[in-house]
Chains A and B, each alone.
Chain A
């Protein structure tokens, strides 16, 4: 069994299945397992739960390949990975996709300036060693992710100036009130908030535009009614998360909206292919752990173990649904891009050059939008939100791969086929 992605979902799937005696290999693009939420340099800094799971994974017989980008999955689950410049192929009987989520970046004037980063992006850079001490930092985003990021930046010594939630106060309040159903989350939220207690935390506020002034950023904020500008060194902004479904789409899985459709056992529409965590649209670390464990049980043929976890999965799905309703994107966020705002950052394609009726392929052939290195990972979801453009076809390699590695992957397949 192969698990793709080493976040909570992938770790749980691999640890559970290996514990049941399956031969498991986990491939993860990051330098070490942990995914987004448990990204770390020093394990001692992680919460106990995270350390437990990482320990369970290590104690298991699962093989972990870090720095391994899965760039191809051929029919019959023959995985091709770029492992730090080496071509590695893995033949699996079952695959768990635990590829997590990425941030949704909606274009607005100035969003391409250096110093404008994602919300989770800022957190990821922080965890990778970015020094924010004394830097004027502002956060503008949406959803439960804002609080831990604000807390982390404040603890790291940033001069945090503003935390802005785009959702209207009414929605945020209603969502907060519903947290009594999951008291742990309420406590967690309060703890995060206490870490940046003196900082403005505004609901119904978002960024209208950013420009450059005196070597720093000048951020124009708005509540719809009032608009004002403030300087910052770092602006952390995103419009929530979107599931990473490139491999799922390459393999032809059925999707519903942006999420992979799975059955009770986390199995996708492709037999033997499972998905767990963010790709299924069920957000958050707890949901990822449970879905990963269910996938691990199911892929190992232990339906009973999986069934025991269904009720708690249902609770998390309920939470995800409430969160996505409360933090629905306000239409104003889509209206920020101006005709000359770049929408495809890889190829510098402006909004005005894309005709609203075009299919994604038409837009691409006419303007090069989505043809660059990220292969539409950023502009694809953005255009979907701005113009309703459908998603592009996913092609191999799923992430850019040195040509020699791609050659090696396919050539090695020749060998394995000859051997079998």
Chain B
């Protein structure tokens, strides 16, 4: 069993594998939409490598972080669009 960490996504606590990216953790938790586009359409990760900026979320209060490049950390607070 891999080590786990706990993160909060929109206030909801969840336990995720310690060695995954924030994007992978969100997808595995069933979130396919990470953000709303400027016209309000649902968007999720595309490139997985930092190019497309579709996976942007707010991490510990900092907006615009690319979740595919960001490893999860214990206690991390992630905010995605509703």
A and B touch in the complex (CB under 8 A): yes
Q: How far is the CA of A364 from the CA of B19 in the complex (A)?
A: 39
Tell me if B14 counts as interface (CB < 8 A to partner A): no
Contact between chains at B19 and A42 (CB < 8 Å):
yes
Q: Which of B17, B38, B39, B48 contacts A121 (CB 8 A)?
A: B48
Residues of B with C-beta under 8 A to A374: 51-53
Tell me the B41-56 residues at the A interface (CB within 8 Å).
Answer: 41-54, 56
Q: How far is the CA of A372 from the CA of B24 in the complex (A)?
A: 24
Tell me if A128 counts as interface (CB < 8 A to partner B): yes
Query: Using a Cβ–Cβ cut-off of 8 Å, how many residues does chain A contribute to the interface with B?
Result: 41
Tell me if A91 counts as interface (CB < 8 A to partner B): no
Shortest beta-carbon distance from A334 to chain B in Å:
19
Shortest beta-carbon distance from B20 to chain A in Å:
3
Query: Using a Cβ–Cβ cut-off of 8 Å, how many residues does chain B contribute to the interface with A?
Result: 35
Contact between chains at B27 and A130 (CB < 8 Å):
yes
Contact between chains at A400 and B52 (CB < 8 Å):
no
> What are the interface flags for A104-127 relative to B under an 8 Å C-beta threshold, 1 for contact and 0 otherwise?
010000001111111011111100
In the complex where A112-B43, A114-B43 touch, is A124 in contact with B71 (Cβ < 8 A)?
Answer: no
Contact between chains at A346 and B53 (CB < 8 Å):
yes
Tell me the B10-68 residues at the A interface (CB within 8 Å).
Answer: 17, 19-21, 23-25, 27-28, 32-34, 37-39, 41-54, 56, 62, 64, 68
Tell me if A41 counts as interface (CB < 8 A to partner B): yes
A residues in contact (CB < 8 Å) with B = 29-31, 36, 41-42, 67, 85, 102-103, 105, 112-118, 120-125, 128-131, 244, 345-348, 372-374, 377-378, 399-400, 402
Q: List 23 A-B contacts (CB under 8 A).
A: A30-B49, A31-B71, A42-B19, A67-B69, A85-B62, A105-B47, A114-B34, A115-B32, A115-B44, A117-B48, A120-B48, A121-B46, A128-B23, A129-B21, A244-B51, A346-B53, A348-B38, A348-B39, A372-B38, A372-B53, A374-B52, A377-B52, A400-B53
